Homo-oligomer: A and B are copies of this chain.
Amino acid sequence: MLSVLNRVPRASLAARAATRLFATEHNPPTRFESASVWQNEPSQPKLVTDSVPGPRSAELSKEIADFQDPRTHVVVADYAKSRGNYLVDADGNEMLDVFAQIASIAIGYNNPELIALAKTDEFAIAAMNRPALGSFPSNEWSETIHKGLLSVAPKGTPHLFTQMCGSCANEGALKAAFMAYRARQRGEQGIKDFTSEEMSSCMKNASPGSPDLVAMSFKSAFHGRLFGSLSLTRSKAIHKLDIPAFDWPAISWPTMKYPLEEYASENAEAEARTIALVEETIIAQKKKGKDVAALIVEPIQSEGGDNHASPSFFKALRTVTRVLSRTVFMIVDEVQTGVGATGAFWAHDKWKLDHPPDFVTFSKKMQAAGFYHAEGTRASLPYRNYNTWMGDPMRALQAREMIGFIKAHGLVAHTAAIGDELYSSLTDLSKRYSGQIHNLRGKDCGTFIAWDAASAEQRDKFVGEMRKVGVVMGGCGDNAVRLRPMLVFGDKQKDVLLEKMEGVFKNMS
């Protein structure tokens, strides 16, 4: 089944680890060629059916429809045959994938190092003996985390709470923020000092034990789909309709004009208005007897349309959340932006904040999920932020291996470089097909690039036409196209993408 893959004997991984160290510390390669890892990665899309999805894919979707909603299917995939940047579907169509499972595949399909990891005893034992991590962690947990997730901990947030998915990660961080906020109010210092009224009222979901604390987010933000995270999410009505929500405020995201640098002063004004609104809202909520305990923000609003803001905006946001009488905890949601795609390991690294965020959440490309947090935000008592699994050690092993691969191959620097060239080529393309590419954005953001089509219909048509020529793409916001290639996206794939895009634009014009 894996005959299409290059098998990497486990023994060679130690050698690679040594190379890694050298590459990372002394001479990071700035370009990566996926052919060096997948000798059999396609060089071009290859379609073998008249339409995509083809008949086999359609048949399998129909089987799935017996038990699960198939209306969101794009294609049914054959992961055994997929490799590198190419997704192969159930009919054998080989497609360049620049959507990467909604931005959640980091280092390619069937990456041989990951497949080798999967075949180890270490991985099998972790997979098949999932612990209640908070109570019975394994003797390998500390080492796995130190070598993996902690080795990329954002500055200022050296603590880690592992969870299962992005929504859980955001909710876990939010719970920690609420608890830390109340602890500060009480002057609680890791001491059990709840009142009996708090103890009894929380059992009735009533104040003061279940307090009227508020979490603030931005309009068009996406932070997940569970009840707390969905209350923060404001991207699309279809996500939110009919689901009860917390009465929490959302502030308009600054309306930016692109390219950002051409409209620097107008953009700065828009950002200043938003910052003022954040401050006013915190004060207004306080007057209503509601404390804003946390503010959550994406470095680039992704699902909501790839909406950018400047480092100055985020600096001002950090300032405004800190200067008021009571510090509002700042949660940076890096679920989609994290793990290298913006040309920095964490998108917020580029803001160069004087005071780091209190919480940084991650999932998707990390495969493991959770949040990093600052000193002083661990719950005052055990079992307050706790659950059965508290993440998954197997995914932590996968993250460790991926982080090693990313460092060894310099994939963050590579993505920054390839992204710059891609952005430049797309700028050219936008001049030649000005009706097709509006508001190109993502300069200096690696391959985290997007643009608007003329309308939602035009966007959907473009994505559909690209699929017909063998490229899997994704949309976001009302009428945007977002590029979310993997970190192993290189020159060859870039050329294919641009060529296919131009062909489609020609036909659409």
Contact = CB atoms under 8 A, between A and B. Distances in A.
B128 A114 contact: yes
Contact of A199 (B77, B205, B237): B237
A279 interface: no
A337 interface: no
A376 interface: no
A11 interface: no
A90 B139 contact: yes
Interface residues of A, number: 130
A246 B250 CA distance: 19
A482 interface: no
A65 to B, nearest CB: 9
Copies assembled? 2
A104 interface: yes
B63 A142 contact: yes
A316 interface: no
A80 interface: yes
A388 B118 contact: no
B239 A128 contact: no
A42 interface: no
Nearest to A161: B68
B121 A76 contact: no
Interface stretch (A220-228, A452-460, A461-469): A220-228
A283 interface: no
B135 A240 contact: no
A205 B78 CA distance: 40
A387 B102 CA distance: 10
B367 A238 contact: no
A75 interface: yes
A447 interface: no
Contacts of A74: 135-136
Contact of A2 (B125, B199, B250, B367): B125
Interface string A237-260: 111111111111010000000000
A64 B240 contact: no
Contact of A198 (B82, B168, B241): B241
A76 B63 CA distance: 44
Contact of A242 (B2, B71, B178, B364): B178
Nearest to A234: B203
Contact of A110 (B125, B160, B214, B245): B125
B244 A210 contact: yes
B382 A71 contact: yes
Contacts of A214: 244
A208 B95 CA distance: 43
B239 A383 contact: yes
Nearest to A220: B203
Given A122-B1, A211-B244, A69 B378 contact: yes
A165 B76 CA distance: 24
A213 B242 CA distance: 8
A119 interface: yes
A79 interface: yes
A497 interface: no
Interface string A168-212: 100100110011011100000000001000111011111001111
27 contacts: A1-B121, A2-B121, A56-B139, A68-B161, A68-B162, A72-B383, A76-B137, A76-B141, A90-B139, A101-B130, A102-B132, A109-B129, A110-B125, A111-B128, A115-B125, A118-B124, A118-B127, A127-B127, A165-B168, A167-B168, A167-B387, A178-B242, A179-B242, A205-B250, A211-B242, A238-B384, A246-B246
Given A64-B141, A178-B244, 6 more contacts: A75-B136, A78-B139, A109-B129, A202-B240, A203-B234, A238-B381
